[in-house]
Structure 1
C-alpha cells in the first residue's frame, strides 16, 4: 500500500468513527429526551385543554410532570389539587397571574445560546407583549389588580446559592406599558440613611393592593434586607435583615420569606414576618426552601421543593402560616403556583 493510500484509509476510518460517535450522541440525547417526555406510570393525569385566568376556584402552576405537557401552564381545582390537571399550550420556566393578567418567563434554546424572554399575557394566555430578558429567569409576580408585573433574572450566576451572582429586577406598568428595567435606579434608604453602592441587587418583588407599595429583597455588602418600596416615588427603605424572596399575604399584614440559617450556608427555612411588630414565626417546614412562597389564602402558604429522586423536578407543598401543623404535599410535579 502506498503512503498516499494509507493516509486516505486513515482519514476515511477517522471520519467514519467520528460519524458513528456523533450518531450515538444524537440517538442517546433523543432517547433521553423521549424518556423525559414520556408520561410515567402512576404519575398525575394530565390532559390538554383550555386554561384561562378568569377560572375562579382554580390553582394554576407550571406542570413539572414528565410527558409532552412538561413545563406547560396547567390548572387544577383549588379544592381538589390532586385531581387531573388541565394543561395549556403555553410553556414557561416561571409563571404567575392575578386579576386576569399573566406573566410567563421563557428560556428558548438557540443555535448559539438560549433566548430568554418575558411574555405579558391576557386572561386567555395570549401574548400581548414580549420583552427580552437580560439573563436566566428566576422570579415573577403580578400585583393583585393586575396592573403591575415584576420579574427577576440572573445576569450572572445560576442561583442564590452561587458564590457570585448578579440579578436584575424589572417592573412593568401594564396600563401605560412603561417598563422600569432595573430597581437599582431607585433611591435607597438603609438603616435610616441614603445609600449607594455598586454591588446592589434586588430580587423577589411582591405587591400590595394599592398599586404603589411593594416589598423586595435588597442584597449589598453580603447582607440581605427586606425593603418596602414606592413605585410612584421610586424609593425603597430597609426594614429588617436576612429576608429573601418575600411574599405579601392577601390581607397585607404579613410577609412569608426564606431566611438563611447558619451564616455562609445555602440553607433557607421558611418564616412569616408580622409587618406591624416585625415578629418572625418559623413555619413547620424543615427542609431548605429555595423558592418565593405563594399565599393560597390568609392562613396557608405554598412553595416548591425538589422531587425525591428526580433531577430537575419539583413538587408543591403547603403549610399553615402560623407555625403550627405539618407540611403536606399539595401538587406533585409542579412549580410556580398562582391561585385564581
Structure 2
C-alpha cells in the first residue's frame, strides 16, 4: 500500500470516529431534550420541581449526582417511593435545603481563572428571590421550619473538616426582612457556664428549632461542642462535647450528629450518633462507615445521610434508635430536604 493510500485510509478512519462521536453527542442531547434517561444513572426526566408536597404525600428534593448535563440540578421523588423516576430541573446546587416553600441553593459560578460561589434564596417554584456572594466553598445549608430563616456555612480556609487546618464562616439570613448576620463568630459564647472568647473559634452546621433557637457546632481549643444558639439575642451556649454537624429531630427532642471516635483513621474519623437533649445520653447508630455529612431526619425515626459512591455520593438511611441496618435510599444523590 502506497503512502498516499495509507494516508487516505487514516483520514477515513478519523472521519468515521468523529462522525460516531458526533452521533453519540446528538443522541444524548436528543434524549436529554426528550426527558429520557442518559447514562447509567437512576431513571430521570426533565420537568417542573417545586418546594410543595405532592398531592398524595411528601417529596424528597435533592442534588442529583448522576453524570451528564443535569448533574447538580435539583431532583424530586415521592418520599414513599424514592426509587421512582426522578424529576430534574434547574437550578444547579452544591448544597441545598428547603422548608415551608423556601429553598437555599449554594452554587458554584465557574470563571475563566477560578470559581466563585453564591447563595441563592428560592421560592416554592424555584424562582430566585435574592442572591449573596459567598466568601468560600459551600459546605452546609439549612432552612428553619417556618421558612423565615436560612443558614449556610462555607470554608474560608481549607476544604475539609477532617484535619485542623480549616476555617469556616456561618451566616443566618432572615427572609422576611433580608437582614443578614454574616458571621456567627460575633455571638457571645458561654463555654461550660462561663463567658468565653477565642481567636480560633469556628462555628458551623446550623440546625433550626424555630425562628429564634438553633443548634450548631463550635470548635475551639482542639475540641468540638454542641451549642444552643439564639438568633435574636446573638448568644451561644455549650451543651455537649464531640458533636459535629448537628441535625434536630422533627419533634425537637434529639440531635443526630457525626462524632469523632478514637482509633479511627484521621481522614475518616466519624460515626453517626444521636443525642437525647433531655438526658444527654448518646446512641450509636448501626452505620459503621465514615459519615461526613449533616444528617437529615426523614421522620422522627429515620436518618438519611450521604456516603461516597461512583457517582460522588448516594443517600442512605438508618434507624435513629440504634437498631436495624443501613439501607440505600437514593443513588447518585446529595443534600436532600423533605418537603411536606
Per the alignment, residue 323 of structure 2 pairs with 324
Deviation per CA, 1:101-159, whole angstroms, max 9, x where unpaired? 00000111101211100000000001100100000000000000001000000001011
Per the alignment, residue 289 of structure 1 pairs with 291
Q: Give distance in 2, aligned partners of 1:212 and 1:163.
A: 30
Q: Give ranges in structure 1 of 5+ residues lacking alignment.
A: 1-26
After TM superposition, give the deviation of residue 161 of structure 1 in Å: 1.2
Q: Give distance in 2, aligned partners of 1:204 and 1:335.
A: 16
Alignment of 1:88-99 (within 5 A): 88-99=89-100
After TM superposition, give the deviation of residue 163 of structure 1 in Å: 3.7
The structure 1 segments of at least 4 consecutive aligned residues displaced by more than 3 Å after TM superposition are none
Per the alignment, residue 216 of structure 1 pairs with 216
Per the alignment, residue 11 of structure 1 pairs with none
Deviation per CA, 1:25-61, whole angstroms, max 9, x where unpaired? xx9xxx9xx9xx99323x2111110000013411100
Q: Quick check: 2:224–2:243 contact (8 Å CA) kept in 1?
A: yes
Q: Give distance in 1, aligned partners of 2:246 and 2:148.
A: 19
Say which of 293, 296, 301 aligns to 1:299: 301
Per the alignment, residue 337 of structure 1 pairs with 336
TM-score where L is the length of structure 1: 0.86
Q: Quick check: 1:48–1:86 contact (8 Å CA) kept in 2?
A: yes
Per the alignment, residue 66 of structure 1 pairs with 67
State yes or no: 1:123 paired with 2:121.
no
Per the alignment, residue 15 of structure 2 pairs with none
Q: Give distance in 2, aligned partners of 1:114 and 1:229.
A: 32
Q: Quick check: 1:227–1:239 contact (8 Å CA) kept in 2?
A: yes
Q: Give distance in 1, aligned partners of 2:317 and 2:219.
A: 27
Q: Give distance in 2, aligned partners of 1:238 and 1:119.
A: 31
Per the alignment, residue 135 of structure 1 pairs with 136
Q: Give ranges in structure 2 of 5+ residues lacking alignment.
A: 1-20
Per the alignment, residue 274 of structure 1 pairs with 276
Q: Quick check: 2:163–2:266 contact (8 Å CA) kept in 1?
A: no
Q: Give distance in 2, aligned partners of 1:191 and 1:107.
A: 38
Q: Quick check: 1:292–1:303 contact (8 Å CA) kept in 2?
A: yes
Per the alignment, residue 24 of structure 1 pairs with none
Alignment of 1:101-250 (within 5 A): 101-209=102-210, 211-250=211-250
RMSD, aligned CA = 1.7
TM-score where L is the length of structure 2: 0.86
Per the alignment, residue 100 of structure 1 pairs with 101
Q: Quick check: 1:48–1:89 contact (8 Å CA) kept in 2?
A: no
Deviation per CA, 1:234-293, whole angstroms, max 9, x where unpaired? 000000110000000000000000001116823100000000000000001000000000
- Aligned residue pair count: 302
* SS of the residue 2:298 aligns to: strand
Per the alignment, residue 82 of structure 1 pairs with 83
Q: Give distance in 2, aligned partners of 1:71 and 1:232.
A: 34
